[in-house]
């Protein structure tokens, strides 16, 4: 396993969240180099690095940055997405609690590149204890003159404000996040008709995941080529992959893209708990198609290969399930999650998530029939591709993959 | 913006580039189902019903969020798109109580209409599995909410937040527990509130005034003009004659006219239909006693000839222009002074910046155009002939003839019943000078004569 | 009944206003402050916030009902929120729930009569690697076992 520490370098250092400690280990060293470059040069570097958004979608970060206007009367904003609500995902909290200064450093460089002076970190409401660590780090940075009117003596004002969510999974969707930051309900917006930045109170805005922004200092320091030393041609770099469920040592382990999934699980996760056999893995947060043990054996952790096996890399948060797992119960668990979290704005999602949950409950109560299983698949196709955002299509993927790959378990429940 | 041609269902249409596809579909009456879109409220994109196929797009698109562009080829029908609509409709109905037999919206419900167009499937959904919400909530302003029938299109909440800006309503909660509500303890309270009943495409919002009065399929809708103030809002009068009964008006509804009232009317105007039926003056009254028409006409002539002295004619500024003209000619003939006192008509408490004018007389502009004086002669009056003027000014006259649509306390020697505006026809000029024709809508079993009919009858006797 | 923010909170709100393009952005921060101040969000608090940030109360009420962490009714001094989503479910959440129910005599959604505890099940807390997990007020308790739950609850009961 190739060791890589693009964002996790300081995770194991005691009190690395403190400015003094972080600085001893090189925090904020890249600011000088970054300010020596022009904003356009930084964006070019990010584009060449092939950095992909690490919040789940995997869209090229550079292309997103290029949508931000370099000459505009309006203020530009950066919103850092730390909503981290995708089940199986818990990586951003590692960054904000173990190396918040790396994030701050990344924010400063990003803002300089997109000519923004105001960044917000949208953090899920439950993460309050981690938010406090991050806020202390920000306060320390203000005191040290890293943030504020002049960033390290440069003629550049930089303010970072933490914006706390309050329990809504959908706010991880970037337009819902901005709605929430505008003080509204987290309803995703209708998609724009052409490529354009996001908008915050009508101002051009960039939304990036915490880990994406935390990767920026490394790229500035080591250049695009340095970043490309890790990963594959089309999925360069690394990801803070996460593992939970039935493994011996669950947790967060940074690995390069292209790492075989099975090796990752065995090497970092210590294999399946209690010597059991592997049954399935949800590879990239709950909203990606579940993989069978056979598929896991040939899956590698990068965007392209995960597509080949019919799933997606997503957030890289793997939920590992052993041979004893009841896949019907597992799907029910996820459908309850989606039912609870649907924002309710548009019909197919609002009604479809609840209805599929109700049907599966019927199956589990022993009141179901084979038609109910087909009805779930039908609901999946109704929910797919007809909604404002990708929430309902994700539910469709989950339903299809569970029933498609484990139909016998579902049938057993309705014939028993 | 330039005009371009696009193809819809193999037909070519010209439209403004960048305009909304759904507007074009509605304009040309191309069938597309929708709940949330409304021309007055704009697109919200939440119901997902107005799906169409657009060549080159791999998924169906909602027409309310599609901008018209060059070389666009659209399909609004076909097996595929009908299937998509059927699917979404099925979801809309999952938690709906399907209580059409007791629902007042039945007959003008979009859920019913679309089910007949695209649904027609067998449902195996059990009532016990449905999400339940609150029913028959009195929101205030004569509006009743049934949350279970709601499709969460947000038309009502957008009306109170974007149009009236009174913000009483909102969608609260999340997912399939989301529902329309007021703040706890607060009421819907604005002078336009009942428009949300019309806006609601389903039976979630119904009018306390109208509900359970009449099935809508028995109603005839006839165009008319509201007489509540000088704005001249366009309305439909919904009426019906039940067997053995008299023709009855059940409600006023707004009728779109972008020059005058847009899509809406005020609640006071909406409920003013009652004045056309309640407390009507039906009998001819001579010296406090009912009489026959021949007797009344003789009395009329006698009162007219009873002595010399000043004759004053009052005319209500709600009468049609044609009626006013005829009264004007009549006044000249009698050598009478014609007046329509205005002062008491100005109502600042009623007025607002939108559809409610402080000039409560609907044809005040015609009074002005005809040069009819609006103050009273202060000389001694021998005979007063009042054509329904709401005379609150105490006028001292020796003899009084009063044509009335509704019963009043003011004494008169002779009281003659008069048709209300829905039982007559004519022209109104609104405060902005827009002339609007108002046809006769109601024919009662025993109709009261109109001003013009009275004029003819009275003058026949005089000559 | 009326609600007023503490002087400290009012100062915080004023300071935050300069950080945002519009005061409307402050609805979530203000709702949080109100909840910390009163342990729940009253309708009076919603009215007060509306005045402060120039939003109709209904708009704030809609927001308050959307986010599950906002309590529109008082909850116990210790709000125990047990994560129920997949990783926790795979790692023994059911056993933890049973233990909590027995120990507290409460079902999810209930509060103890003395107002000390409210038990809720919540969706993914983002702590899947240390499942099963619960959150009591703002604090996470990870890698739960029945024994660990007892120790935590003992210390809370002693404290209260």
Tens digit of each residue's pLDDT (9 = 90 or more) over A180-234? 999 999 999 999 989 999 999 999 999 999 999 999 999 999 999 999 999 999 9
Question: What band does B393 get if pLDDT is binned at 50, 70 and 90?
Answer: low
Q: What is the pLDDT of residues B9-40, one digit of tens each?
A: 999 999 999 999 999 999 999 989 999 999 99
Rounded average pLDDT over B172-177 = 95
Q: Is the model's pLDDT at B461 over the cut of 60?
A: no
> Are C129 and A244 inside 8 Å of each other by CB?
yes
Query: pLDDT tens per residue, chain C (160 residues)?
Result: 689 999 999 999 999 999 999 999 999 999 999 999 999 999 999 999 999 999 999 999 999 999 999 999 999 999 999 999 999 999 999 999 999 999 999 999 999 999 999 999 999 999 999 999 999 999 999 999 999 999 999 999 887 6
B294-321 confidence digits (pLDDT tens)? 999 999 999 998 878 899 999 999 999 9
Is the pLDDT at B47 greater than 90? The verdict is yes
Nearest in space to A361 (alpha carbons), one of A353, B442, B306, B158:
A353
Cα–Cα distances in angstroms (integers) from residue B74 to residues B9, B17, B54, B57, in the given order: 6, 15, 5, 10
* Residue whose C-alpha is closest to residue B281's, from B426, B137, B444, B105: B444
Which candidate from B170, B173, B185 shows the least CB-CB separation from C58? B170
| Alpha carbon distance A55, A92 (integer Å) | 9
Same domain, B316 and B452: yes
Contact by Cβ (8 Å): B4, B68: yes
Cβ partners under 8 Å of residue B173, min gap 6: A344, B179, C65, C66
- What CA–CA distances, in Å, run from A20 to A14, A15, B26? 12, 9, 66
CA-nearest of B171, B238, B195, B207 to B40 is B195
Count CB-CB contacts under 10 A for residue B171: 24
- How much is the CA Rg of chain B, to the nearest whole Å? 27
Q: Do B225 and B179 share a structural domain?
A: no
DSSP B159: I
Range 31-50 of A in CB contact (< 8 A) with C: none
Q: Which of B311, B373, B321, B313 is nearest to B342 (CA)?
A: B373
Residues B161 and B253 in one domain: no
DSSP-assigned states of every residue in B76-106: --SHHHHHHHHHHHHHHHHT----GGG-TTT
Contacts of C125 in chain A (CB under 8 A): 126
Say if B186 falls within a structural domain: yes
pLDDT at C1: 66
Give, to the nearest 10 degrees, the angle between helix A216-228 and helix A39-49: 50
- Cα-Cα-Cα-Cα dihedral sign, residues C135, C136, C137, C141: negative
C97 CB within 8 Å of a chain A CB: no
* Residue A416: predicted pLDDT: 61
Q: What is the pLDDT of residue C159?
A: 75
Based on the fold, state whether residues B318 and B266 are members of the same structural domain: no
Q: Out of B90, B124, B175, whose CB is closest to A350? A: B175
CB contact under 8 A, C68 and B174: yes
Domain C7-66, CATH number (from 1.10.3720.10, 3.40.50.720, 2.60.120.260, 1.10.10.1590):
1.10.10.1590
Q: Considering the domain delimited by A19-228, tell me its CATH architecture.
A: 3-Layer(aba) Sandwich (3.40)
CB A265 within 8 A of CB A243: yes
The rounded distance, in Å, linking the Cα atoms of C97 and A341 is 21
Split at pLDDT 50, 70, 90, the class of B343 is: low
Kindly report the number of other CB atoms within 10 A of residue A129's CB atom.
13
Q: With beta carbons under 8 A apart, name residues in chain A contacting B128.
A: none
Same domain, B451 and B314: yes
Contact map slice: B 132-161 vs C, CB within 8 A: 161
3-class secondary structure, B440: coil
Round to whole Å and give the CA distance between A297 and A292: 9
Alpha carbon distance A126, C123 (integer Å): 11
Tokens 């909602």 sit at which residue? B62
Phi and psi, residue C102, nearest 5° = -65, -45
- In the stretch 95-154 of chain B, residues with CB closer than 8 A to chain A read 95, 124, 129, 131, 151-152
pLDDT band for position A344 (50/70/90)?
Answer: very high
Contacts with A395 (C-beta within 8 Å, 6 or more apart), sequence order: A287, A335, A338, A349, A352, A353, A356, A380, A383
Q: Please give the class, per CATH, of domain A327-415.
A: mainly alpha
Do B222 and B315 reside in the same domain of the chain?
no
Question: Shortest CB distance from A193 goes to which of B43, B67, B87?
Answer: B67
Task: Report the number of distinct structural domains present in chain B.
Answer: 4
Q: Hey, which residues does B383 pair with through a beta bridge? A: B311, B399
ipTM greater than 0.90: yes
B67 and B113 part of one domain: no
List chains touching A (3+ CB pairs under 8 A).
B, C
Cis ω before B422 (30° cut-off from 0): no
Out of C43, C46, C65, whose CB is closest to B173?
C65
* In-domain check, residue B84: no
Torsion sign across C-alpha atoms B8, B12, B18, B20: negative
A385 touches chain C (CB under 8 A): no
Condensed to tens digits (0 to 9), the pLDDT of residues A280-310 reads 999 999 999 999 999 999 999 999 999 999 9
Structure tokens at A355: 């209805």
CB B49 within 8 A of CB B33: yes
Handedness of CA A145, A149, A153, A156 (dihedral sign): positive
Closest to A336 measured CA to CA, from A364, A319, A357: A357
User: What are the backbone dihedrals phi and psi of residue B401, each rounded to the nearest 5 degrees, phi first?
Assistant: -115, 130
Contact (Cβ atoms closer than 8 angstroms) between residue B51 and residue B85: yes
pLDDT value at residue C10:
98
Give residues with Cβ within 8 angstroms of B288, minimum separation 6: none
How do residues B98-133 score in pLDDT, each as one tens digit? 999 999 999 999 999 998 988 777 776 777 788 899
Note the pLDDT of residue B345. Answer: 57
- Those of residues 35-74 in B touching chain A at CB distance below 8 A are 43, 45-49, 51, 59-60, 65, 67
Q: How far apart are CA B267 and CA B141, in angstroms?
A: 8
* Residue among B42, B91, B154, B172 with most chain A CBs within 10 A, to mutate: B91
Task: Determine how β-strand B179-182 pairs with β-strand B169-172.
Answer: antiparallel
- Strands A317-322 and A238-245, how do they pair? parallel
Report CB contact under 8 Å: C68, A167.
yes
Which chain C residue lies closest to B183 (C-alpha atoms)?
C58
Q: Identify whether residues B269 and B304 lie together within a single domain.
A: no
Residue B265: name the closest of B274, B275, B256, B277 by CA: B256
B94:A355 CB<8 A: yes
Kindly report, residue by residue over B230-259, the tens digit of the pLDDT. 999 999 999 999 988 999 999 999 999 999
Instruction: Tell which residue, B208, B201, B78, B216, has the closest CA to residue B139.
Output: B208
Q: Name residues whose C-beta falls within 8 Å of residue C126's C-beta, 6 or more positions apart in sequence.
A: A84, A85, A89, A90, A93, A124, A126, A127
User: Quick check: C116 contacting A, CB < 8 Å?
Assistant: no
* Strand B397-404 relative to strand B381-387, pairing: parallel
Taking CA atoms, A320 is separated from A87, A250, A252, B296, C141, in Å, by: 12, 9, 14, 97, 22
Give the Cβ contact number of residue C91 at 10 Å. 23
Q: How far is A316 from chain B (nearest CA, A)?
A: 27
Cα torsion B114, B115, B121, B126: sign: positive
Among candidates B169, B174, B183 on the partner chain, residue whose Cβ is nearest the Cβ of C57: B183
The ranges assigned to domains in chain C are 7-66, 78-159
Strand partners, B417: B404
Confidence check: pLDDT of A20 > 70: yes
Are A225 and A233 contacting, i.e. CB atoms less than 8 angstroms apart? no
| Cα of C56 to nearest chain B Cα, Å | 7
Report how far apart the first and last C-alpha atoms of chain A are (Å, whole number): 46
| Burial (0-12, 13-18, 19+ Cβ within 10 Å), A80 | buried
Alpha helices in A191-252 (DSSP H): 210-214, 216-228
For residue A39, the tally of other CB atoms under 10 A from its CB is: 18
**pLDDT of B463 strictly over 50:** no
Question: Do B249 and B159 belong together in one domain?
Answer: no
- Among B167, B184, B185, the residue with its CB nearest the CB of C56 is B167
Judgement on whether residues B358 and B443 belong to the same structural domain of the protein? yes
Q: CB–CB of B183 and C62 under 8 A? A: no
CA distance A365 to B344: 72
- How confident is the prediction for chain B on average, in pLDDT? 93
**What is the edge-to-edge ordering of all strands in the sheet holding B247-254?**
B220-225, B234-241, B247-254
How far is CA B332 from each of CA A105, B258, B312, rounded to the nearest angstrom? 92, 39, 11
Which residue bears the tokens 């690995």? A255
Distance in Å, alpha carbon of B175 to nearest chain C alpha carbon: 9
Which domain does B178 fall in, by range?
Answer: 92-207
Report whether A292 contacts A280 (CB < 8 A). Answer: yes
When pLDDT is averaged across residues A368-391 and rounded to a whole number, the result is: 95
CATH C-level class of C78-159? alpha beta
Going by CATH, does the domain composed of A239-322 fall within 2.60.120.10?
no
Predicted local confidence at residue B118, as pLDDT: 85
How many whole angstroms separate alpha carbon B116 and alpha carbon B118? 6
> Is the distance from CB of B105 to CB of B201 less than 8 angstroms?
no
Strands in A246-316 per DSSP E = 251-256, 259-260, 278-282, 291-292, 300-301
Contact A380, A396 (CB under 8 A): yes
pLDDT of residue A1: 81
Block residue for tokens 């108002």: B438
Query: Helix H segments across A144-248?
Result: 174-181, 210-214, 216-228
Q: Among partner residues B167, B173, B182, which is closest to C59 by beta-carbon distance?
A: B167
pLDDT for the residue numbered A246: 98
> B81 CB near a chain A CB, below 8 Å?
no
- pLDDT, tens digit, for every residue of A87-141? 999 999 999 999 999 999 999 999 999 999 999 999 999 999 999 999 999 999 9
Per-domain residue ranges of chain A: 19-228, 239-322, 327-415
């Amino acid at each position: 396993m190739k060791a890589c520490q693009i964002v996790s370098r300081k995770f194991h250092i005691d009190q690395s969240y403190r400015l003094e400690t972080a600085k001893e280990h090189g925090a904020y060293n890249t600011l000088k180099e970054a300010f020596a470059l022009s904003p356009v040069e930084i964006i070019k570097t990010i584009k060449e690095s092939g950095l992909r958004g690490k919040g789940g979608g995997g869209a090229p970060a550079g292309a997103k940055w290029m949508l931000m206007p370099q000459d505009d009367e309006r203020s530009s904003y950066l919103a850092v997405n730390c909503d981290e609500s995708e089940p199986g995902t818990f990586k951003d909290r590692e960054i904000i609690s173990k190396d918040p200064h790396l994030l701050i450093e990344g924010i400063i460089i990003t803002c300089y590149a997109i000519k923004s002076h105001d960044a917000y970190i949208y953090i899920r409401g439950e993460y309050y204890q981690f938010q406090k660590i991050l806020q202390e780090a920000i306060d320390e940075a203000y005191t040290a003159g890293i943030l504020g009117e002049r960033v390290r003596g440069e003629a550049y004002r930089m303010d970072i404000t933490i914006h706390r969510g309050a329990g809504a999974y959908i706010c991880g969707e970037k337009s819902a996040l901005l709605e929430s930051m505008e003080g509204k309900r987290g309803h995703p917006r209708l998609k724009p008709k052409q490529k354009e930045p996001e908008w915050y109170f009508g101002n051009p805005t960039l939304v990036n995941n915490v880990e994406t922004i935390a990767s920026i200092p490394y790229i500035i320091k080591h250049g695009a080529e340095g970043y490309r030393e890790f990963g594959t041609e089309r999925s360069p770099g690394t990801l803070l992959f996460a593992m939970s469920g039935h493994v011996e040592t669950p947790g967060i382990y940074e690995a390069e893209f292209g790492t075989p999934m099975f090796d990752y699980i065995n090497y970092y996760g210590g294999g399946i708990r209690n010597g059991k056999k592997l049954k399935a893995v949800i590879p990239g947060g709950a909203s990606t198609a579940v993989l069978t043990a056979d598929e896991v054996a040939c899956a590698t952790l990068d965007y392209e290969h995960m597509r080949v096996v019919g799933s997606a890399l997503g957030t890289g948060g793997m939920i590992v399930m052993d041979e004893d797992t009841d896949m019907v119960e597992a799907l029910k668990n996820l459908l309850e999650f989606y039912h609870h979290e649907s924002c309710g704005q548009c019909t197919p999602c609002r009604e479809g998530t609840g209805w599929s949950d109700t049907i599966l409950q019927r199956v589990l109560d022993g009141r179901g029939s084979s038609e109910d299983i087909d009805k779930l698949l039908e609901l999946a196709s109704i929910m797919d591709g007809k909604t404002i955002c990708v929430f309902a299509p994700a539910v469709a993927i989950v339903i299809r993959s569970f029933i498609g790959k484990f139909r016998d378990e579902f049938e057993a429940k309705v014939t028993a | 913006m330039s005009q371009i041609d696009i193809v819809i269902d193999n037909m070519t249409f010209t439209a403004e580039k960048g305009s909304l596809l759904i507007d074009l579909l509605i304009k040309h009456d191309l069938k597309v189902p929708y709940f949330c879109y409304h021309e007055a409220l704009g697109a919200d994109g939440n119901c997902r019903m107005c799906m169409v196929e657009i060549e080159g797009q791999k998924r169906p698109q909602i027409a309310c969020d599609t901008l018209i562009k060059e070389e666009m080829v659209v399909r609004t029908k076909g097996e595929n798109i009908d299937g998509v609509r059927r699917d979404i409709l099925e979801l809309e109905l999952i938690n709906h109580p399907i209580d059409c037999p007791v629902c007042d919206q039945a007959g003008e419900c979009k859920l019913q209409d679309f089910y007949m167009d695209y649904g027609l499937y067998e449902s195996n959904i059990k009532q016990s599995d449905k999400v339940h919400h609150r029913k028959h909530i009195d929101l205030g302003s004569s509006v009743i909410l049934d949350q279970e029938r709601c499709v969460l299109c947000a038309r009502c909440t957008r009306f109170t937040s974007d149009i009236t800006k009174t913000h009483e309503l909102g969608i609260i909660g999340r997912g399939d527990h989301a529902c329309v509500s007021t703040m706890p303890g607060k009421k819907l309270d604005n002078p336009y509130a009942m428009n949300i009943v019309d806006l609601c495409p389903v039976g979630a919002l119904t009018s306390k005034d109208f509900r359970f009065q009449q099935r809508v399929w028995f109603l005839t809708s006839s165009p008319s003009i509201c007489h509540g103030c000088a704005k001249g809002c366009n309305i439909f009068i919904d009426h019906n004659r039940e067997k053995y009964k008299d023709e009855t008006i059940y409600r006023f509804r707004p009728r779109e006219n972008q020059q005058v009232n847009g899509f809406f009317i005020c609640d006071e105007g909406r409920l003013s239909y009652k004045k056309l039926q309640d407390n009507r003056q039906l009998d001819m009254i001579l010296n406090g006693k009912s009489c026959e028409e021949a007797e009344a006409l003789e009395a009329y002539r006698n009162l007219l000839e009873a002595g010399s002295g000043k004759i004053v004619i009052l005319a209500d500024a709600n009468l049609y222009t044609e009626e006013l003209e005829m009264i004007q000619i009549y006044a000249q003939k009698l050598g009478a002074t014609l007046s329509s006192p205005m002062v008491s008509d100005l109502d600042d408490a009623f007025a607002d910046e939108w559809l409610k004018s402080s000039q409560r007389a609907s044809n005040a502009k015609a009074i002005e155009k005809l040069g009819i004086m609006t103050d009273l002669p202060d000389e001694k009056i021998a005979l007063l002939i009042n054509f329904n003027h709401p005379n609150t000014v105490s006028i001292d006259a020796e003899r009084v003839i009063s044509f009335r649509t509704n019963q009043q306390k003011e004494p008169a020697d002779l009281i003659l019943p008069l048709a209300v505006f829905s039982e007559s026809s004519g022209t109104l000029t609104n405060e902005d000078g827009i002339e609007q024709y108002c046809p006769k809508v109601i024919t009662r079993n025993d109709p009261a004569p109109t001003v013009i009919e009275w004029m003819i009858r009275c003058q026949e006797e005089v000559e | 009944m009326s609600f007023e923010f503490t002087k400290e909170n009012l100062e915080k709100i004023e300071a935050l206003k300069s950080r945002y393009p519009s005061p409307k952005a402050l609805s979530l921060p203000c709702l949080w402050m109100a909840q910390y101040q009163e342990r729940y969000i009253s309708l009076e608090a919603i009215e007060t916030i509306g005045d402060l940030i120039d939003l109709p109360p209904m708009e704030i009420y809609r927001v308050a009902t959307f986010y599950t962490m906002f309590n529109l009714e008082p909850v116990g001094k210790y709000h125990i929120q047990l994560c129920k989503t997949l990783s926790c479910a795979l790692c023994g959440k059911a056993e933890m729930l049973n233990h909590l129910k027995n120990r507290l005599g409460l079902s999810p959604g209930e509060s103890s009569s003395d107002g000390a505890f409210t038990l809720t099940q919540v969706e993914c807390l983002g702590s899947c690697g240390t499942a099963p997990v619960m959150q009591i007020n703002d604090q996470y308790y990870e890698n739960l076992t029945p024994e660990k739950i007892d120790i935590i609850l003992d210390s809370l009961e002693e404290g209260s």
